[in-house]
Amino acid sequence: MSEQRCPWCDSSDHTTIAGHWRWLQGVMFGKPPSAEDEAQEIQHEAQRLIEHLYDPDAELGWAANGRRISLMRDEAINWGDLHVIEVRPWANGDQVVFEVVIEEAAPEAVGLQEYIAEWLTKWGWAVSVRTEW
């Protein structure tokens, strides 16, 4: 079995985007990032995931990509103003979990919540995602 390595710097000390980001913050600033710094990075990455759901459109400027939103097609989402409004760290035992709050989608928009949570988790962050109007 091969050892997992960071895709950017080939280190075995960290193997995820979150791990690489934390390591880089330590190198640049001489200390690990604070929970607030990490929340800002998660907000940035979550917003980029939302932006990835859109394609340029000649008439609208940007339109939701039908293939990418297939799991969310029947959910109540305002595609014209969907955005991350806040990321809050909270303690869950010994682990810090970040709550990502997305505005302009129904609280029942489970497909959107799962899409954001799945990618942020793959990238190494412990998150929960909540949507609201």
pLDDT at residue 103 is higher than 90: yes
- The pair of three-digit structure tokens given for residue 108, joined into one six-digit string: 């029942």
pTM attached to this predicted model: 0.86
Q: Is residue 17 part of a domain?
A: no
Whether 68 maps to a domain, the answer reads yes
Range of the domain at 102: 33-132
Would you say residue 111 has pLDDT above 70? yes
For residue 42, being part of any structural domain is answered with yes
Query: In this structure, is residue 11 part of a structural domain?
Result: no
Across 78-105, average pLDDT? 95
The whole-number pLDDT of residue 76 equals 97
- Specify the CATH number for the domain of residue 65: 3.30.70
Q: Does residue 34 contact residue 98 with C-beta atoms inside 8 Å? A: no
Per-residue pLDDT reduced to its tens digit, 37-83 = 999 999 999 999 999 999 999 998 988 888 888 888 899 999 889 99
Is residue 116 domain-resident?
A: yes
Q: What is the pLDDT of residue 108?
A: 97
Residue-level pLDDT at 129: 98
Residue burial 35-55, b: 16+ Cβ < 10 Å; e: rest: eeebbebbbebbbebbeebbe
* Domains: count for the chain: 1
Q: CA torsion angle for 59, 63, 66, 68 (degrees, to 10)?
A: 150
Residue 25 lies in a domain: no
Q: Does a structural domain hold residue 24? A: no
- Greater model confidence, 13 or 93: 93
Single out the residue of 84, 73, 83, 68 nearest to residue 127, CA to CA: 84
